[in-house]
Amino acid sequence: MHEELCVGSQEWQRAASLSVRYQVFVVEGKIDRADEFDQYDEKGRIYANLFLDGKPVSTGRFLPENNETARLTRIATLSPYRGNGYGSKIIAALEEYAREAGFRRVIIHAELTAKTFYEELGYQAFSEVYQEDGQDCQSLTKEL
């Protein structure tokens, strides 16, 4: 299989990301469409997408919080492709983008079921557990 990882703000990048997220969060995760697709999915937003033979299978979104901090959001991999390291590649690509853009740290609002995944990538929890889109979550951070 041909693997391609792309980071950018082209419309096709946005479309690929939304496609993966619809399957993972709306269909599989039962999150309301209005909650999943928010005001941050605007023209020019940076997305990372991993394609296998041209098919988008994993994605993530980049949101600047301020001059030093960015948030990585909507990290998702289609169910049949989980466990292959694709999510880690998405995170690494977004972290590299953040570094190159001059950000010093990244944060992630993680569902508790994914917390260990992020901790293995060097993230540390810095908040109490809270509810987001009906899920138990915790915020994690990583210095770049």
Q: pLDDT tens digit string along 63-87? A: 999 999 999 999 999 999 999 999 9
d(CA 29, CA 15): 19
Whose CA is closest to 72, among 27, 23, 114?
Answer: 114
d(CA 20, CA 30): 14
Torsions phi, psi of 70, nearest 5?
A: -125, 155
Residue 119 CA to chain centroid, in angstroms?
15
- Beta strands 105-111 and 69-77 are parallel
Q: How far is CA 82 from CA 65, 66, 75, in A?
A: 29, 32, 12
Residue 19 pLDDT more than 80? Answer: yes
CB atoms within 10 A of CB 42: 9
Percentage of the chain with pLDDT > 70? 100
> Which residues make Cβ contacts (< 8 Å) with residue 142, sequence separation at least 6?
95, 105, 106, 107, 121, 122, 123, 124
DSSP 88: H
d(CA 64, CA 39): 14
d(CA 13, CA 116): 28
Give me the amino acid identity at 74: R
Q: State the pLDDT confidence band at 33, using cuts at 50, 70 and 90.
A: confident
pTM for the structure as a whole: 0.94
